[in-house]
Copies of this chain bind each other. A is one copy, B any other.
């Protein structure tokens, strides 16, 4: 670790993840010098106060915003990332991008620092942060792969609305209030009613009948784990929860294990916390995982219908490990490895 300080820009600074990026940078004492908050024209003039008491003005982003910047942490959506990626790289900065724009690009490392930090060395100016359901999933799959080998994974997600942005969160609260009041309502931000409902669609549908979200979990997990043939399938469902994504996961290992050993193996990732004491009604839930950095796993039990197979329940703050935290951890890992 050197003592250098970095000029950091947050692109998309006023969004759910953008605000948390600022928070995480300060909280983790990231070695920043200049800290530049960038957003669209309409956010110009907004002041965001950091947890360090400093007021950060939000500037409108343009092609020249990146001069003198070392690291751009972006969470402004795919089109904005695509629009400015060339400017960022030309300015000599590294783009660590939360959008799906570059994740499957073979020239772009897709990184969860506890899983594949070595892939950072191959970067060409752009590094991608995985989908918010994928990041916590690979945190447990990696140690299982190392220790047992993974035969197959079946995932059903229970995803909160914060993944769809701040406006969608506000819409869930407003429409839930209307549902309680028995008033009629329509949804404008997301395309279906979510109040007291479930939506078995996240992102658009692809020709194979899967949603883009489901294919992100499948394809990104394979890329991050370096297992292009990994047998994995996913059903992604939006639930009326504000923050935290949950996953019901059925994992078939290549070797036998028991619950005790399984717990020890996944706990070898220091960011994975096993919360599993059913007799005391202790298991991971969104309201208890919210605002926390760890990936929480519980309900770990053998699936008696198949040899070497386990059912588990995973909960993780989708704005943190699924987004802002992992993005900052990528930057930290680059510094640690002397890549930047």
Q: Tell me whether A208 and B301 are in contact (CB under 8 A).
A: yes
Q: Tell me whether A200 and B237 are in contact (CB under 8 A).
A: no
Question: 0/1 per residue, A176-217, Cβ < 8 Å to B?
Answer: 110010000000000111001111110001001111000000
Q: Tell me whether B209 and A241 are in contact (CB under 8 A).
A: no
In the complex, identify which listed stretch (A53-61, A110-118, A281-289) lies at the interface while the others stay far away.
A281-289
Q: CA A285 – CA B279 in complex, angstroms?
A: 33
Return chain B residues, CB-CB under 8 Å to A242.
196
A300: CB under 8 A from chain B?
A: yes
Q: Tell me whether A197 and B285 are in contact (CB under 8 A).
A: yes
Instruction: State how many angstroms separate the Cβ of A196 from the closest Cβ of chain B.
Output: 5
Return chain B residues, CB-CB under 8 Å to A304.
208, 233
Return chain B residues, CB-CB under 8 Å to A199.
285
Question: 0/1 per residue, A95-138, Cβ < 8 Å to B?
Answer: 00000000000000000000000000000000000000000000
How many copies of the shown chain assemble into the complex? 2
Contact of A237 among B173, B248, B305 (CB under 8 A): B248
Q: Tell me whether B200 and A233 are in contact (CB under 8 A).
A: no
**Chain B residue at smallest Cβ distance from A313:** B200
A303: CB under 8 A from chain B?
A: yes
A333: CB under 8 A from chain B?
A: no
A154: CB under 8 A from chain B?
A: yes
Q: Tell me whether B201 and A278 are in contact (CB under 8 A).
A: yes
Return chain B residues, CB-CB under 8 Å to A198.
158, 239, 241, 246, 285-286, 315
Q: Tell me whether A285 and B192 are in contact (CB under 8 A).
A: yes
Instruction: State how many angstroms separate the Cβ of A38 from the closest Cβ of chain B.
Output: 31
A residues near B (Cβ < 8 Å) are 152-154, 156, 158, 173, 176-177, 180, 191-193, 196-201, 205, 208-211, 231-233, 235, 237, 239-242, 246, 248, 250, 259, 278-279, 281, 283-287, 298-306, 309, 311, 313, 315
Q: For the A-B complex with A191-B281, A192-B281 known, give 4 more contacts whose Cβ atoms are closer than 8 Å.
A: A152-B305, A197-B241, A198-B239, A198-B286
